[in-house]
Structure 1
Amino acid sequence: MNETLSIGERVAWYRRRRGMPQEVLAGLVGRTADWLSKVENGRIELDRLSVIRALADALDIRLGDLLAEPSLLDWPGDAQGGAVSKLREALMDYKQLSPFLAADDAEQPPDLDILRAEVGSAWSAYQDARYSRATRLIPDILSQAQRAVRMYEGDQQQQAKALLAMAYQGAAMVLTKIGEADLAWMSADRGLTAAQESGNIVVTGSLFRSVSHCLLSNGRLTAARDLVMNSASFLEAGLEDGSPTYLSIYGTLFLVGSMAAARIEDRSTVRDFLAEADRAAQRLGHDANHMWTAFGPTNVAIHRISTAMELGDIQIALDQGPRVDSSTLPLERRVRHSLEIARAYSAQNRMDEALALVLDAEELAPEQVRYHFIPRHLVTNWVRQQRGKPSYLLAGVAQRLQIVA
């Protein structure tokens, strides 16, 4: 199948491949055959991941099979080709994983201060929604960090392990964004191992967030929620005297968990997680970006909107979402919030307002819009709903997102 099919059409295609009548699939997800018929014919718009996830599970396919996640085949702007293949090679280079197999020809180990700056550059590229740049930077950073771990001893080796963990986490975050779920999981898993070996509890907490996020992205929602609970219990011991960075790591965990809970429609846990995140944000006292968390009161407010949309509380999202000033946050967070409001507008048939937000987001962060579920889903549905020829603006963004023929 190509990327021109709507989610409903994909549901119909996989259902027929399974030899499954509409009545059976509808029953498996607790719906009626009439509802499913309208979904497949485009008369009901699927915009809640919890419902799409249930359909994917019932059809025994990946969530991404219904979302039509694009593979990383091209990059806009100044990108160079082969970025993901090089990162894949770096992750699968067995020689780098064992001190017995790797050969370090250089006389001097990597400078840790320079390595720390390079890790920061990769994370900054991610937060600026420059995923192609981050993907190109990370392979060399991983190689240098692995070499540092092998060549240093004592405290410097522990620092190197912490930097290696953060490099792996950066890889996991960007790979999740571009739909490389298996590579993202590999990166997060290795990052958590390096973090625990570093003895740095803040870095370990940060990697708990990354693993939880990978579980969330892979549709393992209950596991993601439960990992957040367990990770938070592990971090609670140091919370009373926690630094701003510690508070940020702790609070961000609950934001990830709130999204997982929302997608399994666990409203009480959503409330509890957001309340705990808000307490950490109030202790922090302002928006900040410690350990690249973008954590603070504003990010908590943004997640209230996102979880409301996942739970189907569209009016809450519309009442509160436009009032949130996200200008203090990194670009990736600002654009993500705009896309959520666009989804809410679209749900109330306010397409012009929603399209304007998508176009603004595309101008700011074209790579993020190209690879995110929300704009691709919205634009596909808008094109399908047009009775005549789509407007110039709508046709343009559809062509750039490569979702219509």
Structure 2
Amino acid sequence: MLDEREAIGKRVRRQRLRLGMTQADLAAKLRRSQGWVSKVEQGRIELDRAKLINEVAAALHCHPNDLIERPFIAGKASENQWQVAAASILRELRRYDLTPTFDGQPRTSRQLWQETERLHRLRDAAANVSILRVLPDLLREAQALAEVATGHEREEAFGVYAVCCKFAHTAAHALGHPELVAMSCERASWAAERSGDVVLPAVASWMRVWDMWATADWHDAITLSDKALQAIEGEYAAGEPLAVRAWGTLQLRAAVSAARAGLPQETEDRIRMARTAAERMVVSEAPVFDRHSLTFSPGNVQIHSISVQLEMGDHAKALLLHERADHEQVAILPGSRRGYHHMDIARAWLWDGNRDRALAELEKAEKIAPQLVRNHPVARATLRKIVYAERTVTRERLRRMSDRFHLDG
């Protein structure tokens, strides 16, 4: 894993030289020192924040995956089979406006929505590989229904198709497949506009905001969030449950964007508005089916309030908010969300100098969402820093002991 850190530095250097940039040029773009760039290229500084990775990639005019070499190739062939499913999904998305290759009669939209509940459960467990395996057939069937249905049933078929694209988008981000990320986002927007669902286009914009982070376009991400918020403002004001969820989720997206843009007051304002939306959510005896699969809740607002502090480099405040959090609300979040949260707390403890607690949090994250964590660049960077620090301490202890034993020669 230490070799991996050095390899990232070499890829930064190779891309910089490919563009004919000096270290001073790159440093100026990043508002860093030339010495900092030199240490990154030597593997002596870890790119351990998504904001940092994305900004370096944007300055070098490449995708972040080009620097961190995603997707990571596992040692076992069986662990790489998800790429076969990803290729099948891409095939379906490319032929979105052609006659679907579907034998027989497609099920009703009601039945297809019920089928998406399986995807919700897999998403909650961060089982991204399993999600990709389910999607090709479901996309094909939703497209077939849209082909033969009319009126509201046809609109619902497009709604199912758009939400399937959202699941593909989330899994592709987690596993590191930029082509699938981009195409699923485009197709989600296309289908959402045909769905008759007034909230679904805003959900598609929420996906686009995530993609803007890859190019460090923080201000554009805020602008797009606001455009989507404006589109559902009336439904939110009326208390429409799915609009409230989408509104809160978009505010959280905007909060992360503002934190990465270095806008602390706007970050706090967005968290506050998301918290207000969470308070408006009414728990009834018959909960609303979250057909858009947005994991918005008071617990989700709490973990985002911690995450944005880390984005702004304030690990002490992040740990304080973690201590004050309602851990019962966090505990009921889906596994994918809790996995991200424990990765964040691991980073906070590491920056605080407590490697033992950092490792314990990283172990919790891996136990909850193994596929997500083992393949996540920030989790890998955090573990590398722990390993490197432990080796450094061990070397120093051995040096001192050898001195005491007079083993210099």
Task: Give the TM-score taking structure 1 as reference length.
Answer: 0.86
Instruction: Look up the match of 1:399.
Output: none
C-alpha spacing 1:54/1:207, structure 2 compared with 1 (3 Å): closer
Tell me if the contact between 2:5 and 2:43 (Cα under 8 Å) persists in the aligned partners: no
Secondary structure of 1:92's partner?
A: helix
1:174-253 matches, cutoff 5 A: 174-253=171-250
1:90-129 residue pairs with structure 2 within 5 A?
A: 90-93=89-92, 96-98=95-97, 101-102=99-100, 105-106=103-104, 108-129=105-126
Question: Could you say which residue in structure 1 is the equivalent of 2:253?
Answer: 256
Question: What is the CA-CA distance between 1:186 and the residue it aligns to?
Answer: 0.9
Residue of structure 1 equivalent to 2:23: 22
Q: Deviations over 1:30-62 (max 9, x none)?
A: 222233344445554443333333322222322
Distance 1:218 1:122, change over 3 A: farther
Map Cα deviations across residues 141-166 of structure 1 (whole Å, 9 max, x no partner). Answer: 10111111111111111111111111
1:172 aligns with 2:169: yes
Structure 2 stretches of 5 or more lacking a match? 396-409
Alignment map for 1:49-128 (pairs within 5 Å)? 49-71=50-72, 82-93=81-92, 96-98=95-97, 101-102=99-100, 105-106=103-104, 108-128=105-125
Please state how far the C-alpha of 1:382 moved relative to its aligned partner. 2.5
- Stretch of structure 1 that moved more, 207-216 or 306-315: 207-216
Distance 1:238 1:211 in 2: 21
| Preserved contact between residue 102 and residue 141 of structure 2 (Cα < 8 Å) | no
Q: After superposition, where does 1:343-362 map in structure 2 within 5 Å?
A: 343-362=347-366
Cα contact 2:6–2:43 (8 A) shared by 1: no
1:381 corresponds, among 379, 385, 401, to 385
Identity level (%): 29
Q: SS of the residue aligned with 2:238?
A: coil
Deviates more, 1:302-311 or 1:199-208: 199-208
Offset at 1:343?
A: 0.6
In 2, distance between residues paired with 1:51 and 1:165? 31
Deviations for 1:226-259, whole angstroms, at most 9, x for unmatched residues? 1101000111122221222220111101111211
In the alignment, residue 364 of structure 1 is paired with which amino acid?
I
Displacement of 1:277 in angstroms is 1.1
Whole-angstrom CA distance in 1 between matches of 2:115 and 2:394: 45
Residue of structure 1 equivalent to 2:310: 309
Q: Secondary structure at the match of 2:70?
A: coil
Cα deviation for residue 369 of structure 1 reads 0.8
SS at match of 1:198: coil
Cα 1:83–1:50 shift into 2, 3 Å: closer
Whether the 8 Å CA contact 1:342–1:354 is kept in 2: the answer is yes
How far did residue 221 of structure 1 move?
A: 3.0
Of the structure 1 ranges 135-144 and 62-71, higher mean CA displacement relative to structure 2 is found in 62-71
Measure, in 2, the Cα distance between the counterparts of 1:369 and 1:95: 30
| Cα distance between partner residues in 2 of 1:191 and 1:350 | 43
**Alignment CA distance shift 1:154-1:19 (3 Å):** closer
Task: Provide closer, same or farther for how the CA distance between residues 103 and 72 of structure 1 changes in structure 2, counting only shifts above 3 A.
Answer: same
Q: Which residue of 1 aligns with 2:322?
A: 321
- The amino acid that maps onto 1:293 is L
Check whether the contact 2:101–2:140 (CA below 8 A) recurs between aligned residues.
no
Q: How far off is 1:359 after superposition?
A: 1.4
1:285 deviates by 5.5
Give the corresponding residue for 1:33. 34
1:187–1:255 CA distance, 2 compared to 1 (3 A)? same
Q: 1:285 to 1:5 in 2, by over 3 A?
A: farther
Residues 33 and 217 from structure 1, CA distance in 2 versus in 1: closer, same or farther, beyond 3 angstroms?
Answer: closer
Change (3 A) 1:80 1:385: closer
SS at match of 2:199: helix
State the distance in 1 between where 2:394 and 2:241 align. Answer: 49
TM-score by length of 2: 0.85
Matched, 1:366 2:370: yes
- How far residue 22 of structure 1 moved from its aligned partner, in angstroms, is 3.0
Q: Describe the shift of the 1:284–1:369 C-alpha distance in structure 2 as closer, same or farther (beyond 3 A).
A: same
- 2:143 maps to 146
**One-letter code of the match for 1:355?**
L
Larger Rg: 2
Q: Give, as a single letter, the amino acid of the residue that structure 2 aligns with 1:363.
A: K
Confirm or deny: 8 A CA contact 1:95 1:102 kept in the other structure: no
5+ long unaligned stretches in structure 1 = 392-405
- Cα deviation for residue 363 of structure 1 reads 1.9
How many matched pairs? 387
Superposed displacement of residue 316, structure 1: 0.7
SS in structure 2 at match of 1:47: coil
* C-alpha distance 310-144 of structure 1, shift in aligned 2 (>3 A): same
Q: Which amino acid counterpart does residue 383 of structure 2 have in structure 1?
A: V
Range 20-29 or range 133-142, more displaced: 20-29
Say whether 1:269 aligns with 2:266. yes
Amino acid at match of 2:86: L
